[in-house]
Each structure stands twice: as structure tokens, then as C-alpha cells.
């Protein structure tokens, strides 16, 4: 019976080592040390460059189309002429906006290491 338990433990150990050797995905944290070119430091010895990074929409500038339907605010003109008198007007329809969401220097991020370890997906910012 003791030999059987040792055999099971040996199989478990071999399985764990096989998984580690295949470099499955792993979650890591990093800090943006440069934005142009993009660099993220993971630890003292490892800094990732743009070529190693896969960016999600959560960490990039992107465009979005939105439907709007409102009135502009009243603004008074500075010249006193009737054409520049306080007024407002409708603003409606589908409009395209830019969401400024690119990473900034010093931000902390969460990364997922892609299987094989060569690329990292930058998932989002870490809010501390």
C-alpha cells in the first residue's frame, strides 16, 4: 500500500511539473514606465514592450457612436449684436465621440500572460 501512495504522489508531482513546463496563462501586475513607446515593468528584471503587449479596449483610446438628443446651453455673445444674443438650439442624432482611455505614465495594470509566455494581454487598470 505504501508503494501505491508513493506512486500516486509521483504522478501528481509529474503532472504539476508538466503544467508548469507548458507555461499556462498567469495573472501578473505591472506599472506603465513609458507611454511612447509603451513599456510596462512587471518586476525588476522584466519590462514588457509594445511588441509583447496585446491591448484591450479598456486601456486604449477608441471611438464610439452615441445617440444624442438635447439642447445646447444658453451662451451670451460678447459683441451685443442680435446674432450673438443668448440662445440655444437642438443637438440630436448619431454622433461619434472619442473615449480617451489610453494608459498613462505610472498607472498600475493587470496582465494575463498568454500560454507560452511571449505575449501579455493588458486587461485593465488596477485601482488602488
Mean pLDDT by 10 residues, the chain (128 residues): 74 76 81 96 94 95 93 69 72 93 96 87 91
Tell me what pLDDT residue 73 has: 79
User: How far from the centroid of its chain's Cα atoms is residue 87's Cα?
Assistant: 41
Q: Which domains does the chain have, with CATH numbers?
A: 21-59+102-125 (2.40.50)
Tell me what pLDDT residue 80 has: 63
Question: Residue 80: what are its φ and ψ, rounded to 5°?
Answer: 85, -10
Tell me what pLDDT residue 1 has: 56
Tell me what pLDDT residue 76 has: 63
Q: How far apart are CA 41 and CA 109, in angstroms?
A: 10
Count of helices and strands (H, E) across the chain: 1, 8
Q: How far apart are CA 113 and CA 123, in angstroms?
A: 10
Q: How far apart are CA 109 and CA 24, in angstroms?
A: 20
Amino acid at each position: 500500500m505504501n508503494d501505491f501512495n508513493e506512486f500516486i504522489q509521483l504522478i501528481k508531482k509529474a503532472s504539476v511539473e508538466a503544467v508548469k513546463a507548458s507555461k499556462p496563462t498567469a495573472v501578473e501586475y505591472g506599472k506603465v514606465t513609458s507611454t511612447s513607446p509603451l513599456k510596462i515593468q512587471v518586476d525588476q528584471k522584466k519590462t514588457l514592450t509594445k511588441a509583447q503587449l496585446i491591448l484591450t479596449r479598456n486601456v486604449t483610446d477608441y471611438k464610439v457612436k452615441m445617440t444624442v438628443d438635447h439642447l445646447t446651453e444658453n451662451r451670451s455673445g460678447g459683441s451685443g449684436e442680435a446674432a450673438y444674443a443668448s440662445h440655444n438650439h437642438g443637438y440630436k442624432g448619431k454622433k461619434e465621440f472619442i473615449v480617451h482611455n489610453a494608459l498613462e505614465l505610472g498607472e498600475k495594470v493587470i496582465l494575463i500572460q498568454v500560454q507560452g509566455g511571449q505575449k501579455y494581454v493588458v486587461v485593465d487598470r488596477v485601482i488602488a
